[in-house]
Amino acid sequence: MGHHSHDIEVTSTSPYEFKSRNRMIAGAMIIIGVIAIAAQFATHHEQTWANLLMNNFMFLAFGLGATFFLALQYVAEVGWSTVIKRQLEAIGLVLPVAGVIMVLIFFFGGSHLYHWMDVGITDPKAANYDKIIAGKSAYLNAPFFWVRVVLYFCIWSYGIRILRKNSLLMDQGNSTAIWKKTRRFSCGFLVLFAVTESTMAWDFIMSIETHWYSTLFGWYTFAGIFILGLIGLAFTVTYLKSKGYLQEVTEHHLHDIGKFIFAFSIFWTYLWFCQFMLIWYSNIPEEITYFMLRQDHYRGLWLGSFFINFICPFVILMSRDSKRKPRLIMAMCILLFIGHWFDTYIMVIPGSMVNISHHAVEGSAMVFGTITWMEIGTTIGFLGLLIYLVQHYLSKAPLVIKNDPLMEESLHHAI
Amino acid sequence: MHKESELRPPLILGDKTWHDITEDVCRPVESKANKWWWLAFSLAVAALLWWIVAVSYTLGTGLGVWGLNKTVGWAWDITNFVWWVGIGHAGTLISAILLLFRQKWRLSINRSAEAMTIFAVICAASFIVTHMGRPWVAYWPIPLPNQFGSLWVNFNSPLVWDVFAISTYFTVSLVFWYTGLIPDFAVIRERATTKWRKRIYTLLSFGWVGSAKNWQRFEEVSLVLAGISTPLVLSVHSVVSMDFATSLVPGWHTTIFPPYFVAGAVFSGFAMVQTLLIIVRKVLGLEDYITIYHIDMMNRVILITGSIVGVAYLTEFFIAWYSGVEYEQYAFINRATGPYWWAYWSMMTCNVITPQLFWSTKLRESVFATFIISIFVNIGMWFERFVIIVTSLHRDYIPSSWTMYHPTWVEAGIFIGSLGLFFTCFLLFARVFPVIAMSELKTIIKSSSEGAKKKHAKTVTQEVNV
């Protein structure tokens, strides 16, 4: 039996060719984004900084989700996924760019986004003194916040850098030792990831509504990040296959990716429901305000995100066949992108608009988030950047690792 | 065609044939028990007798024989209930989630882990029934028409959700376990040399003949049951956590509870599997099937879930401070520094620090270290539930009603007795049921046994030479 096994070999020995047509498309999307963002600044659109945060957060989530999943492949000694590691790397490599943009957003827009950054808010003598926020200032203060922000992006960027470096080394042979080293490194990375992911979710998003708190928030955010990483992977793989690349990836691999999307969409729903239900049930003023704001003013998006992100994958991806159809998986990725766009919107925008209203002139009406061409344009811009960078990194190395010690398992993967 | 990397260690040691597996697994069932088994069994039954005495005394006299008071209305009863339900989770995780993740090493341990699940749920249920005080109306939480004497149940109550969650869990686990047992019972039936053994195992094996159709149905049912069991791994302990988290009690009301309880349950369940299997593999001579690699893999699960639990502890503590809510903050300060500080620090030491020792490969592969650490985790997870329940209750919103909780000998009897019940069941299981899913294990002999791996390595070398 075993001795015919070397019939299948790695055929994707060359990188992806980033054609000028695709460069143009991605470039055009980025230009649309730049125009949309410029227009927001020019018209003093209240939502500008919140839009930037929300979109860059999703951009970051693609990279972070993919890097997490990549590290997990090494830690769990996964065989089947070996042929798709390079795609995860290409998505993960956007992390440093997301980091730079995030730093810019916080530097110029932090005080617009975060109520706790307001001058005087922790000063008992100031007119806008807030006792609750003052109580949190040991954690929520600008210097410590900046230390954390820099630390997060350094850790994550370093993580994906080493994973990539080792993977390229495996192309050159003597791979078992490198693979073992990478597994060890990935263990350390996942430990740091477990801590930084939660605190990042508190820092970047939960602290927008500074009074509000939820212990589950970090893990809930993680579920969304993971889904984005997975749909990034699924889309990249199916796209490459549709262009004739990645002959090694079969419907069996697609099936497994589909299972992950299916399972973790339910996991996301589970956490969504736990967080909502426990707060709704207890109905404590400190907590319930969060959901009241969303229920009263953003009901469509709030429930929409729940239905798209749960019902759609649950019903569509339930059957075995659907997970093996590339076009269906692609459509699912687009649908889930929209669903998680809704979810991120619901996490970021409502609270930011409340903060904007605080900053507005006394007596002016409360402002709420909207979805106009400017919001959609911003998202197109960030998507353009993502598409550009992922293709760029795919064009930098062969699409499949050459000597990964688990490659045989992946090439012969059949379920 | 399936291919296995050389990096994967063998899952069956020694050059085992299919017949060897049958012999090794059936031996305990077909031979007489040794004196160690009788000694353990006597101890377990003695504890079980104490359980019967303590439960009878409770039911005959009333819940006043327990140490509960009007401030601490839940204590050991629910601590033990949650502890036992949690222990059950390893079985479901192994048989359902590890099946979906195609982890072949589950095959040597799934049978006894599932048995453990069932016995643990029985122990858990016994605490629910006894803490009701009037077991003859134990059917009241079931939505039955009012003519039966109770009021229609309150579906808003998480305690009612619990009734559904636990009973579904028990039913599915039992069916899953039994389905897996059928082909193995048939093997014992075919080998039976005495009339009664033949009769009993004929009855138990449901007319299994091992035809292709039998196996095809078996595979289908297993997959469907795995599909149903997977959400149960998450839902059961989530619902258990909601018994607390839906309340307004500081220290109980926290949104992280459901996933954190699930992680803790898997953590404690694997610890109990280790405790049991380390003894079972030794006593029944199954070291070739439950290998050091199996122990290592389970220790990795313990390390991961223990770390998740640790992150959750720190998150709760941090957010309690961050919330700015005085009551929430006090609940956590009181846990760590109040009169129950010793319980809190026992929990922290056993659950957060000890599993971190498993970063060392040497300790993960040491049977002795694993056994000791698994006991620590068992103790730690008991203290976790005690800390959550008692320290949150004993100092409530009104300082004048602050009090302590002191368990009585009756409660101690019911707890120790439940261990007796558990071990009595498990020891009987180890005598009359095949403790390893031999029919399923045989499916990997050609890919993952030491013999197959040696043969494969030899073929590869020959080819290279040619």
Average pLDDT over residues A196-210: 96
Nearest CA in chain B to A202: B319
Give B408-464 pLDDT, tens digit per residue.
999 999 999 999 999 999 999 999 999 999 999 999 988 888 888 888 888 777 766
Q: What is the mean pLDDT of residues A110-122?
A: 90
Map tokens 């030899």 to a residue. B458
- Provide the number of CB pairs (under 8 Å) joining chain A to chain B: 104
| Mean pLDDT along residues A394-398 | 96
pLDDT tens readout for residues A205-228: 999 999 999 999 999 999 999 999
| Residue that is written with structure tokens 């009603």 in the block | B401
| Residue ranges in B143-256 assigned as alpha helix (H) | 158-191, 195-204, 212-245
Top-tier CATH class for B18-145+153-454: mainly alpha
When pLDDT is averaged across residues A9-36 and rounded to a whole number, the result is 94
In angstroms, what CA-CA distances link A18 with A15, A160, A247? 9, 22, 18
Q: With beta carbons under 8 A apart, name residues in chain B contacting A279.
A: 255
Residues B153 and B304: their CA atoms lie apart, in Å, by: 39
- Read off the DSSP letter of residue B247: S
DSSP B12: B
pLDDT for A3: 44
The torsion defined by the Cα of A75, A76, A80 and A83, in degrees rounded to 10, comes to: -10
| pLDDT of A51 above 90 | yes
Backbone angles phi, psi at B274, to 5 degrees: -60, -50
Mean pLDDT computed over B9-36: 90
Under DSSP, the state recorded for A138 is T
pLDDT class of A2 with cuts at 50, 70, 90 = very low
User: Using one digit for the tens of pLDDT, what is the confidence trace for A132-157?
Assistant: 999 999 999 999 999 999 999 999 99
**Quick one: which of B82, B7, B41, B10 has its CA closest to B290?**
B10
**Contact state of B248 with A194 under an 8 Å Cβ cutoff:** no
Distance of residue A15 Cα from the nearest chain B Cα, in angstroms: 26
Residue B465 has pLDDT above 70, yes or no: no
Q: Is A274 on the interface with B (CB under 8 A)?
A: yes
pLDDT mean across residues, chain A = 93
- Confidence bin at A1 (pLDDT 50/70/90): very low
Cβ under 8 Å to B: A residues 75-104: 77, 79
A202 contact residues in B (CB cutoff 8 A): 322
Looking at the partner chain, which of A132, A278, A409 has a beta carbon nearest the beta carbon of B255? Answer: A278
Q: Does B104 touch chain A (CB under 8 A)?
A: no
Q: Is residue B155 over pLDDT 60?
A: yes
Is residue B11 within 8 Å of B108, Cβ to Cβ? yes
Name the residue type at position B128: I
- A307 alpha carbon, distance to own chain's centre: 19
Which residue of B1, B2, B3 is the best one to mutate when testing the A interface, meaning the one whose CB has the most A CBs within 10 A? Answer: B3
Radius of gyration for chain B, computed over Cα atoms and rounded to the nearest angstrom: 24
A362 — pLDDT class (breaks 50, 70, 90): low
CB environment B160-169: b (16+ within 10 A), e (fewer): bbbbebbeeb
Q: What is the pLDDT of residue B455?
A: 84
B229 to chain A nearest CA, in Å? 13
A409 and B5 within 8 Å at the Cβ level: the answer is yes
* More confident site: A18 or A9: A18
Question: Contact A266/B307, CB-based, under 8 Å?
Answer: no
**Pick among A80, A137, A141, A215 to test the B interface (most B CBs inside 10 A):** A215
A258 touches chain B (CB under 8 A): no
Alpha-carbon distance B430 to nearest alpha carbon in chain A (angstroms): 32
Is B127 in CB contact (< 8 Å) with chain A? no
Contact A45, A378 (CB under 8 A): no
What tens digit of pLDDT does each residue of B96-139 get? Answer: 889 889 899 999 999 999 999 999 999 999 999 999 888 888 88
Q: Would you say residue A5 has pLDDT above 50?
A: no
Percent of chain B with pLDDT over 90: 77
Q: Is the pLDDT of residue B1 over 60?
A: no
- By Cβ distance, the residue of B258, B315, B322 closest to A274 is B258
Tokens of A49: 């900084």
Cα(B466)–Cα(B461) distance, rounded to whole angstroms?
9
Q: Which of A359, A368, A354 is nearest to A300 (CA)?
A: A368
| Euclidean distance between CA atoms A224 and A340, whole angstroms | 7
Nearest 10 degrees: Cα torsion A337, A340, A345, A351: -160
A217 has a chain B CB within 8 A of its CB: yes
Q: What is the DSSP string of B66-87?
A: SS--SS---SHHHHHHHHHHHH
Residue among A305, A300, A327 at smallest CA distance from A316: A327
Which of B246, B255, B324 lies nearest to residue A214, judging by beta carbons?
Answer: B255
- pLDDT of B298 reads 96
Closest chain A CA to residue B1: A412
B-chain residue closest to A197, CA distance: B311
Find tokens 């080493």 and name the residue: A162
| Domain ranges for chain B | 18-145+153-454
**Residue A75 reports pLDDT greater than 70:** yes
pLDDT tens-place string over residues B297-322: 999 999 999 999 999 999 999 999 99
A291 part of contact set with chain B, CB < 8 Å? no
> Given an 8 Å threshold on Cβ–Cβ distance, is B322 in contact with A213?
yes
Inter-residue contact B381 to B47 (CB < 8 Å): no
CB proximity A181 to B under 8 Å: no
Beta-carbon separation of A216 and B256 below 8 A: yes
A216–B259 C-beta distance less than 8 A:
yes
To the nearest whole Å, the CA of B465 is away from the closest chain A CA by 13
Quick one: residue B282, left, alpha or beta (phi over 0 = left, psi -120 to 50 = alpha)? alpha
CA distance A395 to chain B (A): 29
> Which of A216, A250, A259 should be substituted to probe chain B, the one whose Cβ sees the most B Cβ atoms within 10 Å?
A216
Spell out which residues of chain A touch residue B248, defining contact as CB-CB under 8 Å. Answer: 282, 284
Residues 27-56 of A with CB under 8 A from B: none
Q: Sorting pLDDT into bands at 50, 70 and 90, what band is A360? A: low
**Are the C-beta atoms of B332 and B315 separated by less than 8 Å?**
no
pTM of the model: 0.95
Interface of B with A in 215-244 (CB under 8 A): 231, 234, 238, 242
A350 — contact with chain B (CB < 8 Å)? no
Query: Residue A96's pLDDT is what?
Result: 97
Give yes or no for A177 touching B (CB within 8 A): no
Q: Which of B2, B7, B234 sits opposite A412 (nearest CB)?
A: B2
- Contact (Cβ atoms closer than 8 angstroms) between residue B414 and residue B406: no
The residue in chain B having the minimum alpha-carbon distance to the alpha carbon of residue A409 is B3
Option in B307, B308, B456 nearest A2 (CB): B456
Kindly state whether B150 is in contact with chain A, defined as any CB-CB distance less than 8 angstroms: no
B254-281 burial, b at 16+ Cβ within 10 Å, e below that, comes to: bbbbbbbbbbbbbbbbbbbbbbbbbebb
Three-class secondary structure of residue B245 per DSSP: helix
Is the CB of B257 inside 8 Å of chain A's CB atoms?
yes
**pLDDT for res A137:** 94
- The alpha carbon torsion through A234, A239, A242, A247 (nearest 10 deg) reads -60
| Cβ under 8 Å to A: B residues 258-277 | 258-259
In chain B, which residues have their Cβ closer than 8 Å to the Cβ of A219?
256, 259
Q: Residues B376, B354: contact at Cβ < 8 Å?
A: yes
Lowest-confidence segment of A103-112, A217-226, A374-383, B4-13 by average pLDDT: B4-13
Interface residue of B157, B223, B232, B255 to substitute, partner A, most A CBs within 10 Å = B255
How many CB atoms are closer than 10 A to CB B115? Answer: 22
